[in-house]
């Protein structure tokens, strides 16, 4: 049976806010948990798994890695927290997006690797 949560992330945090489906990839959940343990502080997930309907409703790209359960957006306040999170995330994922108040991390092996981009 597939897990629906980890030690530090609840089913609610990992599920689609539209339909409640928990479609996160198990390997990616292990990566998230490893990052959280190394970081040593709470990580608020703004977005995790998204069903296609929810993804379209919020205007996200149809190719979003969130729909595959291999991406999260993590709330981030200030440059110090951003630096610390990037330091820990970059040990485990090779795709990072930097927003003004969040970090996107994904493990989509079908997309370009070793990349960082911005949303502003």
Report how far residue 24's alpha carbon sits from residue 117's, in angstroms, rounded to the nearest whole number.
23
Give which of 79, 76, 77, 73 is closest to 93, Cα–Cα. Answer: 73
Instruction: Determine what percent of the chain falls in helix, strand and coil, rounding each to the nearest 5.
Output: 35, 20, 50
For each of the domains in the chain, give its residue range(s) and CATH number, in order of start: 11-118 (3.30.1380.10)
Report how far residue 1's alpha carbon sits from residue 65's, in angstroms, rounded to the nearest whole number.
23
The residues with which 72 forms a beta bridge, in sequence order, are: 105
Identify the pLDDT of residue 5. Answer: 86
- Using a pLDDT cut of 70, give the percent of the chain over it: 98
Identify the pLDDT of residue 2. Answer: 62
In tens, the pLDDT along 67-98 reads 999 999 999 999 999 999 999 999 999 999 99
Question: What is the end-to-end Cα distance of the chain in Å, rounded?
Answer: 40
Identify the pLDDT of residue 51. Answer: 97
**Local structure of 119: helix, strand or coil:** coil
Mean pLDDT on 33-38:
97
For residue 1, is pLDDT > 60? no
The residue that leads in pLDDT, 1 or 97, is 97
Confidence of residue 120 (pLDDT cuts 50, 70, 90): confident
Pairing of strands 115-118, 71-75: unpaired
Confidence of residue 114 (pLDDT cuts 50, 70, 90): very high
């Amino acid at each position: 049976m597939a897990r629906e949560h980890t030690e530090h992330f609840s089913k609610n945090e990992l599920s689609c806010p539209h339909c409640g489906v928990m479609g996160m990839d198990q390997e990616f959940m292990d990566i998230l948990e490893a990052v959280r343990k190394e970081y040593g502080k709470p990580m608020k997930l703004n977005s995790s798994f998204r069903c296609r309907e929810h993804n379209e409703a919020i205007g996200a790209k149809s190719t979003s890695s969130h729909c595959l359960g291999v991406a999260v957006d993590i709330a981030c306040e200030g440059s110090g927290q951003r630096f610390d999170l990037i330091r820990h995330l970059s040990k485990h994922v090779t795709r990072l997006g930097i927003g003004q108040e969040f970090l996107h991390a994904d493990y989509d092996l079908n997309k370009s690797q070793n990349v960082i981009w911005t949303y502003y």
